A and B are shown apart, each in its own frame.
Chain A
Amino acid sequence: MASSSYTPQELMVAVAAREIQDGDLVFVGMRLPMLAYAVARSAHAPSARGLFEVGLMRDQPAEGFLGTMGDPPNVVGALWATRMSNVMALMAQGSVDLGFIGGAEVDRFGNLNTSYVGEPAHPTVKLPGSGGGADIAILSRRWVTLMSHERRRLVDRVSFITSPGYGDGTPHWRKRNGLLGGGPVAIITTLSVLRFPELGGEAYLASVHPGHTVEEVRAETGWDLKLADDVSETPAPTESELSAIRRFDPEGFWTRSA
C-alpha cells in the first residue's frame, strides 16, 4: 500500500509516536496514544516504558487489541500490576518523561478543558471530566495532546481549565503556581502540529499535514495563530509506521472511524 493512503488518525498516531524518545517513561493514556506507544516501542524507542493509571507498567506493547488500558491483554507481560496511587507516586516524583492527554478544547496557552462548556453550574455541554488528565498536565515532565482541528475546539481561552498548560501565558506561570512538570510541548491535530516556545507560553504553528494549507489551519483556529519562521510539512507516516499501526489496530477501531 502506498504511504499516501492513510487516515488522519493514522498520521496523528505516527506524529505522536515520534514524540516518544528512546528511554522515556511514558504515561500512556487512552485511545490514539495507546497506539502511538506501541508504534514507538516497535520502531525508534525500543527501551521506552509505558505507565497506565489503572496500575500497570509495561515495556512491550500488548499482544492483543486494546479497547481500554484496562483490557486483559495489557496485563499479560506487564512489568508491574499494582494500584493507581503507586503509579501516581512515580509521576509525583517527576519520573514521568512524557504524558499524553486527550482534549475536547485547548487554548492558545495549551490549557485543556474536558469538564464544562459554559458555566459549571449550568453547562451547555458537560464533558466527562479530568480522568488522569489534570495529574499528567501538572506532574509529567512534558506532555502532548491530540485532537480534531476545529475552530470550536481550538479556542482563544478555555472557559474552564481542567488540565493546565501555561495558564494565562505570563512568564513562569507554572512555576509561580507550584506546578511540578514542564507543561505541554505539542498539540497534534488532524491538520497540523502546534508547538510551544522553550519556556512555554503561546502555541505556534510548526508544521502542516500533507494536503492541507496554513490558511486552512488558521481558519480552523480560534485565535490569531502565530507561525514558526519555517513552517514545514508534517512528514507522512512511513510504511513501517503504518504497518505497526495496522498491526495494533487491525480492525481500524481507533484509526479508521470518524
Chain B
Amino acid sequence: MAEAIRRFVPDGSTVALGLALESVIPFAAGHEMIRQGRRELELVGPISDALFDQLIGAGCVRRVTAAWVGNVSEGLGHCYRRACEERVPRSLEVHDHSNFSISLALWAAAWNVPSLPARTLLGSDILRTNPGLVASEGLVQVAAVRPDVAIVHVQRCDEMGRAHTWGPMGITEEAGLAAGRVIITCEELVAAEVILSDPNRILLPETKVVAVVPEPGGAHPSPVQGYFKRDHALYRDYAEQSRSVDGYLAWLEQWVMGVPDRETYLQRLDINPLRVSQHRMSEPVDYGFE
C-alpha cells in the first residue's frame, strides 16, 4: 500500500474515492495518504462517508468536488465544517455537485467530451457556486471532471488488476474510466482463472489499473458485501471525537499516525464480530459456447 500511494498519488493529485457511496470505501488507502503527508489534493466523490472528513482534517486537501461531505449515519463532518468555516487546518475550495451531476461529470471525462447536458440542478443555487455547471436552454451543461487517479476497494482481484465486485456500484465505473489510472485494493488476491471465469463481473479494464494491493479489511469501518459488516459504532465514536480539533488529533494519532499499516490497525480492533459468517453464494452462470 505504501508503495502504491507513494508512486501513484503524488502531492497535488486529483483523487476519486468512496465511489460506491457508503460501502467499500478505501479507508486503508486514505489513511496511508495521511501518513505520507500528502498535500494539495483534490478529492472527487459522490456522498462521501467520513474518509473525506478525515483527509480534510489532516490537511491533505485543497479542493473537494463532491455531492456531500459528512458522516452518513451521524450527520455533519466536523473537520469539513472547520475547514470551510474557520480555515482549520487550512482553507478548502468546494465545487458542489449533486450525486447525478458528479456522475455525469465523470461520464463526460470518460467519453472525452467537454461536458454533458442534464435535466438536474435547474433552479438550484449549486449553479452559483460551481463554475463547472452552467444552465443553458433548459438544460445544465455539466463540465467533465477528470481524476488523476481513482482508488477502488473490491472483493477480489487478480494480479493483472481484473477486479470482481458485487453490490451497488454508485459511480465507480465512470470514475475508473475517467481517471488516468486506477489503484485496486482488495479483500482477496485470486488466480486469473477465477476472475476470467466470469468476465461480466469485471469492474474496469485492466489497462487502467496500475496497482493491485491485497488489503483485507481495507474498507473498515465501511462494509464489504460477503466479507465485512458496517461498524456503525465506530462512525459514532469518530463523530464524537472529531467534534474538537484536539479530539480529532487524538483520533488521528490513535488510528492513523500511530499505526504503521492496516494489519496492525485491524489487530487493535475487535474485528471478528464484524466479519460476515453466514455466506450467501449466487448461482454460477454458464459461458459455454459449443
Q: Which A residues lie at the B interface, using CB under 8 A?
A: 30, 52-56, 67-72, 75-76, 81-85, 88, 91-92, 115-116, 120, 123-135, 137-139, 160-164, 167, 173-174, 177-180, 253
Contact = CB atoms under 8 A, between A and B. Distances in A.
Contact of B69 (A69, A72, A124, A128): A128
B246 to A, nearest CB: 20
Nearest to B72: A68
Nearest to A118: B85
B85 A124 contact: yes
Contacts of B100: 84-85, 88, 91-92, 132, 134-135, 139
Contact of B123 (A81, A88, A130, A167): A167
Nearest to A53: B99
Nearest to B122: A178
A9 to B, nearest CB: 14
Given A67-B230, A71-B223, A180-B119, A115 B126 contact: yes
A258 B171 CA distance: 33
Choose among B119, B138, B222 the residue with the greatest number of A CB atoms under 10 Å from its CB.
B119
Interface in B160-217: 166-174
Interface string B99-120: 1110110010000000000111
A28 to B, nearest CB: 13
B21 interface: yes
Nearest to B173: A83
Contacts of B268: none
19 contacts: A30-B72, A67-B232, A71-B22, A71-B23, A81-B166, A88-B100, A126-B84, A129-B70, A130-B67, A130-B98, A130-B126, A131-B46, A131-B67, A131-B99, A132-B98, A133-B98, A138-B121, A163-B124, A164-B123
Contact of A71 (B84, B98, B129, B230): B230
User: Which of A56, A70, A120, A132 is most buried by chain B, counting CB atoms within 10 A of its CB?
Assistant: A70
Residue among A91, A120, A126, A178 with the most chain B CB within 10 A? Answer: A126
B13 interface: no
Interface stretch (B30-38, B73-81, B256-264): B73-81
B124 A68 contact: no
Contacts of B47: 53, 131-132
B225 interface: yes
B16 interface: no
B148 interface: no
Given A68-B73, A131-B98, A162 B125 contact: yes
A254 to B, nearest CB: 9
Contacts of B156: none
A85 B230 CA distance: 24
Contacts of B21: 53-54, 68-70, 84
B170 A135 contact: no
Query: Which of A88, A129, A178 gathers most chain B CB within 10 Å?
Result: A129
A20 to B, nearest CB: 22
A253 B222 CA distance: 17
B7 interface: no
Contacts of A52: 168
Given A84-B170, A161-B123, A135 B99 contact: yes
